[in-house]
Structure 1
Amino acid sequence: QEKLKSGDVFACAEVVRNLAIRLRNAKLSTAEQSMYANARYLLTSELAVSWDVDQEEAEARIDKALGV
Protein backbone atom coordinates (compact mmCIF):
# COMPACT_ATOMS: atom_id res chain seq x y z
CA GLN A 1 0.00 0.00 0.00
CA GLU A 2 2.83 2.40 0.86
CA LYS A 3 4.44 1.77 -2.52
CA LEU A 4 1.28 2.92 -4.27
CA LYS A 5 1.02 6.02 -2.12
CA SER A 6 4.60 6.96 -3.00
CA GLY A 7 3.57 7.74 -6.58
CA ASP A 8 6.70 6.04 -7.90
CA VAL A 9 5.88 4.26 -11.15
CA PHE A 10 8.58 1.64 -10.53
CA ALA A 11 7.13 0.83 -7.12
CA CYS A 12 3.68 0.61 -8.70
CA ALA A 13 5.03 -1.77 -11.35
CA GLU A 14 6.56 -3.89 -8.60
CA VAL A 15 3.19 -4.16 -6.85
CA VAL A 16 1.50 -5.18 -10.11
CA ARG A 17 4.19 -7.77 -10.83
CA ASN A 18 4.12 -9.28 -7.34
CA LEU A 19 0.34 -9.48 -7.15
CA ALA A 20 0.11 -10.91 -10.68
CA ILE A 21 2.49 -13.67 -9.64
CA ARG A 22 0.41 -14.37 -6.53
CA LEU A 23 -2.76 -14.34 -8.63
CA ARG A 24 -1.36 -17.11 -10.83
CA ASN A 25 -0.76 -19.33 -7.80
CA ALA A 26 -3.65 -18.48 -5.49
CA LYS A 27 -6.73 -16.35 -5.11
CA LEU A 28 -6.09 -12.81 -3.90
CA SER A 29 -7.87 -11.47 -0.84
CA THR A 30 -10.40 -8.68 -1.32
CA ALA A 31 -7.84 -6.10 -0.16
CA GLU A 32 -5.22 -7.52 -2.53
CA GLN A 33 -7.68 -7.51 -5.43
CA SER A 34 -8.43 -3.86 -4.77
CA MET A 35 -4.73 -3.02 -4.50
CA TYR A 36 -4.02 -4.91 -7.73
CA ALA A 37 -6.79 -3.07 -9.59
CA ASN A 38 -5.60 0.31 -8.32
CA ALA A 39 -1.96 -0.44 -9.12
CA ARG A 40 -2.83 -1.66 -12.62
CA TYR A 41 -4.88 1.47 -13.25
CA LEU A 42 -2.07 3.75 -12.11
CA LEU A 43 0.52 1.83 -14.12
CA THR A 44 -1.54 1.65 -17.31
CA SER A 45 -2.38 5.35 -17.07
CA GLU A 46 1.27 6.29 -16.68
CA LEU A 47 2.46 3.98 -19.44
CA ALA A 48 -0.32 4.99 -21.84
CA VAL A 49 0.91 8.58 -21.66
CA SER A 50 4.55 7.54 -21.88
CA TRP A 51 3.96 5.25 -24.86
CA ASP A 52 1.40 7.60 -26.48
CA VAL A 53 -1.21 4.83 -26.71
CA ASP A 54 -4.71 4.42 -25.32
CA GLN A 55 -5.45 2.74 -22.00
CA GLU A 56 -6.49 -0.55 -23.62
CA GLU A 57 -3.23 -0.83 -25.57
CA ALA A 58 -1.22 -0.14 -22.43
CA GLU A 59 -3.18 -2.84 -20.57
CA ALA A 60 -2.56 -5.31 -23.40
CA ARG A 61 1.18 -4.61 -23.30
CA ILE A 62 1.28 -5.05 -19.54
CA ASP A 63 -0.67 -8.32 -19.77
CA LYS A 64 1.76 -9.56 -22.43
CA ALA A 65 4.76 -8.65 -20.28
CA LEU A 66 3.21 -10.40 -17.28
CA GLY A 67 2.24 -13.44 -19.32
CA VAL A 68 -1.45 -13.19 -18.46
Structure 2
Amino acid sequence: MNGAGDPGEHAVSSGAVGSSSGYVLENGQEDTYDDADTLPLVAALDAVRTIVDTGRPPPDKPWEVDR
Protein backbone atom coordinates (compact mmCIF):
# COMPACT_ATOMS: atom_id res chain seq x y z
CA MET A 1 0.00 0.00 0.00
CA ASN A 2 1.15 3.50 -0.74
CA GLY A 3 -0.41 5.10 2.32
CA ALA A 4 -3.64 5.41 4.26
CA GLY A 5 -6.67 4.76 2.09
CA ASP A 6 -4.71 3.16 -0.76
CA PRO A 7 -6.72 0.16 -2.03
CA GLY A 8 -3.49 -1.68 -2.85
CA GLU A 9 -3.13 -4.79 -4.98
CA HIS A 10 -3.97 -8.47 -4.62
CA ALA A 11 -3.35 -11.86 -6.16
CA VAL A 12 -6.13 -13.30 -8.31
CA SER A 13 -7.21 -16.74 -9.51
CA SER A 14 -7.44 -16.32 -13.25
CA GLY A 15 -10.32 -18.21 -14.77
CA ALA A 16 -12.26 -18.54 -11.50
CA VAL A 17 -16.00 -18.09 -11.87
CA GLY A 18 -18.62 -17.36 -9.21
CA SER A 19 -18.41 -15.90 -5.74
CA SER A 20 -18.06 -16.93 -2.10
CA SER A 21 -21.08 -18.05 -0.13
CA GLY A 22 -20.96 -14.74 1.72
CA TYR A 23 -20.19 -13.31 5.12
CA VAL A 24 -21.79 -10.74 7.42
CA LEU A 25 -20.06 -7.45 8.26
CA GLU A 26 -20.21 -5.94 11.73
CA ASN A 27 -22.96 -3.53 10.60
CA GLY A 28 -25.13 -6.46 9.45
CA GLN A 29 -24.44 -6.01 5.73
CA GLU A 30 -24.03 -9.30 3.84
CA ASP A 31 -21.17 -9.35 1.36
CA THR A 32 -19.32 -11.74 -0.95
CA TYR A 33 -15.97 -12.01 -2.73
CA ASP A 34 -15.71 -12.97 -6.38
CA ASP A 35 -13.84 -16.28 -6.56
CA ALA A 36 -11.36 -14.63 -8.95
CA ASP A 37 -10.34 -12.32 -6.06
CA THR A 38 -9.37 -15.23 -3.81
CA LEU A 39 -6.69 -17.91 -3.85
CA PRO A 40 -6.59 -21.48 -2.62
CA LEU A 41 -4.77 -21.64 0.73
CA VAL A 42 -1.60 -23.25 -0.65
CA ALA A 43 -1.30 -20.59 -3.37
CA ALA A 44 -1.98 -17.81 -0.85
CA LEU A 45 0.71 -19.09 1.52
CA ASP A 46 3.16 -19.34 -1.39
CA ALA A 47 2.37 -15.74 -2.39
CA VAL A 48 2.88 -14.49 1.17
CA ARG A 49 6.17 -16.40 1.44
CA THR A 50 7.42 -14.79 -1.78
CA ILE A 51 6.40 -11.31 -0.61
CA VAL A 52 8.12 -11.79 2.76
CA ASP A 53 11.27 -13.20 1.14
CA THR A 54 11.58 -10.72 -1.76
CA GLY A 55 9.35 -7.76 -0.93
CA ARG A 56 7.54 -8.26 -4.25
CA PRO A 57 4.55 -10.25 -5.50
CA PRO A 58 5.33 -13.64 -7.03
CA PRO A 59 6.11 -13.23 -10.75
CA ASP A 60 4.33 -16.48 -11.65
CA LYS A 61 0.93 -15.53 -10.20
CA PRO A 62 -1.67 -13.14 -11.65
CA TRP A 63 -1.82 -9.86 -9.73
CA GLU A 64 -4.43 -7.12 -9.87
CA VAL A 65 -3.85 -3.45 -9.08
CA ASP A 66 -6.93 -1.91 -7.43
CA ARG A 67 -5.90 1.72 -7.94
Q: As a proportion of its length, which structure holds more strand?
A: 2
Q: As a proportion of its length, which structure holds more helix?
A: 1
Q: TM-score, normalised by structure 1?
A: 0.29
Q: Which has the larger radius of gyration?
A: 2
Relative contact order, CA 8 A, sep 6+: which one is greater?
Answer: 2
Q: TM-score, normalised by structure 2?
A: 0.29
